[in-house]
Amino acid sequence: MSEPVGHSRRGLLLAIFVSAMPATLILPMMPSIGETLGVGGAALGLLFGIYPLTSVIAAPLWGRISDRLGRKPALLGTLAGATLAFLIFGFSGSYAGLLWARALQGLSGSARGIGFAVMGDTTDGEDRAAGMGRVSAAMALAFTLGPILGAAFMDETPGPWAQAIRAALGAPVDGFSYLLPALLGALLNAGAFLIVLVGFRETWRPGKTAAAAPSAGPAAPSALAALLNVVVIMLILQFVVAGLIQGTLQFAFTLWANDILGWSAREIALSLAALGLGFVISSGVLLRPLLHRLGAARVVLVGVVVDLAGMALFMALAERWQWAVLGLFLSSVGGGLWGTTIVGQISRETPQAHQGVMMGVINGAGLIGRVAGPPLAGFAVGALGARAPFAAIIAGLLLMLLVCLRIARLTATRAPANEPGKGPGRGPQNRTG
């Protein structure tokens, strides 16, 4: 790996890690926000889902900006918008204010999609999915540590230092408050902005870089043509299902932990940290060696099977919280394997000149699922009981198995779009990463 590329990746991964931590601060607070503001499950589902809903619109646009202007300006724009959104969230005293803040956070986009595009700029062959795994691992590590850090700020029984800060900011001294977690989110995103500003070197210069990229020459298909590729369409549909599963799982888990076990926001946050650890292990440790040993198609299948096994364990022993958390941990390990590998497969099917917009599209696709997941989970819990959303997740994973087998047949004898002449999983080995 050349030093400029390595410098860019380190700056990118650090920025993604720092900026992703605030995302974990919102979900554990949902039951407590509902009690504080006097709103029900449907309103909380909308508050959770408005972020991915607006992100569906914004993600492809930010990807297009990164293709046209470069990755660095797009990263800076998303982080500046997120900083402002968290400030608005923290100082909003009404449900409507929180809703507007969450919408702005979604419109600000996400560093993850641009991070995937950066890895698409700097990796080849099987290393591409492994590079995507580094981005996912940075986010997952943030999701693991974020709840632990945020637990002290959202505590219903704050310590003296937290009480002093609350008093200075005009917030209630005792009881639950979302002001400090939101200010922490703004501070972390501002820090990530500075990291990108001084520590990230551009990896995609549209004029100069596109002319040098062999896959971005005159014969390269348009972004629309790349999107209409049959394999890409099926992979994107997989990502929609992945988002639906993840959104349903996260929101249903908070309701289950609060309603069935009576856990507080602090306890839910610490449990979500354990789930994030499973994703870190899969995408940051297990993914690369498994890709080299099994190939992308088999890694996806293995991931789906492990995900199914974890959900089955959860369903069987949901009343025993230790086994339930273990089942969800295994599910997150499997989800990290198959979800991240799909991103790498889509990137390899995409011409280099359109990496940004395609990574934005798949982020939007995943977010469509996340939009639908929370309200569906809330409805299912109310109508059918706390386990109903998890049964739906198992059905979605079984569907994933069928789609995986179909994609494996389609890709068995054809080369990826940006690696002409190479079979799937046999890309160039002149690695830059």
The values of phi and psi at residue 82, to 5°, are: -65, -40
**pLDDT: which is higher, 386 or 98:** 98
Report whether pLDDT(208) > 60: no
- For residues 23 and 142, what is the distance between their CA atoms, to the nearest angstrom? 9
The predicted pLDDT at position 433 comes to 32
**Quick one: which of 15, 416, 381, 13 has its CA closest to 192?**
15
Q: Can you give the pLDDT at residue 224?
A: 56
315 Cβ neighbours under 8 A, 6+ residues apart: 327, 387, 390, 391, 394
**pLDDT value for 284:** 80
Query: Does the pLDDT value for residue 218 go beyond 50?
Result: no
Contact predicate 116/360, CB 8 Å: no
Range 338-346 average pLDDT: 79
The pLDDT of residue 24: 63
Phi-psi category of residue 428: left, alpha or beta, with phi > 0 → left and psi -120 to 50 → alpha: beta
* Residue 159: pLDDT band with limits 50, 70, 90: low
* Highest-pLDDT range among 121-125, 202-206, 419-423, 428-432: 202-206
Instruction: Please count the CA atoms within 13 angstroms of the CA of 380 that sit on its side-chain side.
Output: 21
CA contacts within 13 A on the Cβ side of 399: 16
pLDDT digits (tens, 9 = 90+) for 87-141: 998 888 788 999 999 899 888 877 777 888 888 888 776 677 777 788 878 877 8
Q: Is residue 219's pLDDT more than 60?
A: no
Average pLDDT estimate for 306-321: 82
CA-CA-CA-CA dihedral for 329, 191, 27, 319, to nearest 10:
30
pLDDT at 311 over 80: yes
- Could you tell me which residue, 5 or 320, shows the higher pLDDT? 320
Highest mean pLDDT among 158-162, 163-167, 416-420: 163-167
> What is the pTM assigned to this prediction?
0.68
Task: Output the CA–CA distances (angstroms, integers) from residue 357 to 95, 199, 353, in the order listed.
Answer: 33, 24, 9
Q: Which pLDDT score is estimated for 76?
A: 93
Residue type, 123: T
Residue 229: alpha-carbon gap to chain centroid: 24
More confident residue, 225 or 18: 18
Q: Please determine, for residue 342, whether its predicted confidence score (pLDDT) is greater than 50.
A: yes
Q: What is the pLDDT of residue 6?
A: 64
State CA 103 to chain mean position distance.
17
- Report CA-CA distances (Å) from 103 to 51, 58, 86, 150, 239: 5, 11, 11, 21, 22
74-83, 118-127, 217-226: range with lowest mean pLDDT: 217-226
How far apart, in whole angstroms, are the C-alpha atoms of residue 46 and residue 91? 20
Q: Which domains does the chain have, with CATH numbers?
A: 3-199+220-410 (1.20.1250.20)
Q: What is the mean pLDDT of the chain?
A: 74
Whether the per-residue pLDDT at 327 is higher than 60: the answer is yes
